[in-house]
Amino acid sequence: MLRTCHRELWADNVLPTADGGVRVIDWENIGLADPSHELGCVLFEFARSDSGQVRALTDAYREAGGPADSGPPRTTMVTCSAYLAR
C-alpha cells in the first residue's frame, strides 16, 4: 500500500532540536511510496550494525502509527540496500 513518505530520510535530513527531539528537513522529494522502503532506509542509515537499535526503531515506528504490514526489519533493510546499489 502506498503512503505519503519523505523518500529521502537520511542522517543529513534529520537534525536534533534543543529539547532533545528531531526535526526532519528537505521535503522536496515527498510523495507516495511503500512505507517499508522508507523504514528500510531509516534502519539502514541509523541501525544497520546494531540489532537492538533495529528493534527499537521498528517498535517506535509501529507505536507511532506506522503500518504493521511494513515487513520485518531485515526485509526492509535488504530492499533499501538493493535500491542504493542501483
**pLDDT 10s digits, 51-70:** 888 888 888 888 877 766 55
Homologous superfamily of domain range 3-85: Aminoglycoside phosphotransferase (APH), C-terminal lobe (3.90.1200.10)
Length, in residues, of the chain:
86
CA distance 19 to 35: 28
Which residue carries 537520511 as its cell?
Answer: 10
Q: What is the pTM of this model?
A: 0.65
Cβ atoms 36, 79 nearer than 8 A: yes
All structural domains of the chain with their residue ranges: 3-85
Residues of the chain with pLDDT under 50: 83-86
Helix (H, G, I), strand (E, B) or coil at 79: helix
